[in-house]
Amino acid sequence: MTGPKLNERPGTRATLRGYHMSASKARVVLNLIRGEDVTTAREILAGTTREAADVIGKVLASAVANAVTNDAMQADELFVSAAYADEGITMKRFTPRARGRAGKIMKRSCHITVIVSRLDDERLETLRNARTAQAAVSRTRRVASSRRRADQQASLNKRETAAVEAAENEALEAEANANAQIEDEANETDLMEFDTVDTPVEDLGATDEVDAEDVAETPVDEAPIDETPVDETPADDTDSNDTTEETK
């Protein structure tokens, strides 16, 4: 590996020694964050599913904390200047195999080192501009999303209000129809009772075939006059004589 020695590289470092993982597995993840700024490196490690990502994330956080505390640097101005993994001790174990043989088991370990340094002014300015533009785009998206949700909520409220008003109008209309039906039934009942009690003259004339004028001229309470001639003949004398004799 060309370049300065590992212990001579500039920057603030953090090292994890003797972690029970092979160096080749750790290097796969270290290659992803090398040369990236701290914020991007954290996002990359958060989206990586390998076991080494969690461990390297802790080492990176320790390196940033050392730079802020010991070297008075700002965390948003740092980037991963170097990241490497060295092989540690290897524990040798065995497992029984057939015919009395033994299978070799190599339990490897590694030393993980992450070095952070301050970005140069040109790259830092570019990064700040990119972050500002990204923040503006993110804010625009949030505002648009908020407005869209507000519009959807307003539309939903309008639909609910319209549905409630329609239901109330239907209820009022149904009640009015019921009241009108009840009044019609009551009027029909009154008419039927009136027809049964007071029969009009026209109906009598239609049923009995009697002229309405004749009915009006004929008195109702007057009895018919008996025109039979009355016998005015005086009584017999015999009756008077008989009465006289009885008196004597």
Does the pLDDT at position 248 exceed 70?
A: no
Does the pLDDT at position 82 exceed 70?
A: yes
- pLDDT-based confidence at residue 222 (cuts at 50, 70, 90): low
- pLDDT-based confidence at residue 46 (cuts at 50, 70, 90): very high
pLDDT tens column, 149-190: 899 889 888 888 899 988 888 888 888 888 888 888 888 777
- What is the Cα–Cα distance from 59 to 115, expressed in whole angstroms? 10
**Which CATH number applies to 8-94+103-119: 3.90.470.10, 3.30.413.10, 3.30.43.10, 3.40.50.1100?**
3.90.470.10
pTM of the model: 0.55
Tell me the average pLDDT across 209-230.
52
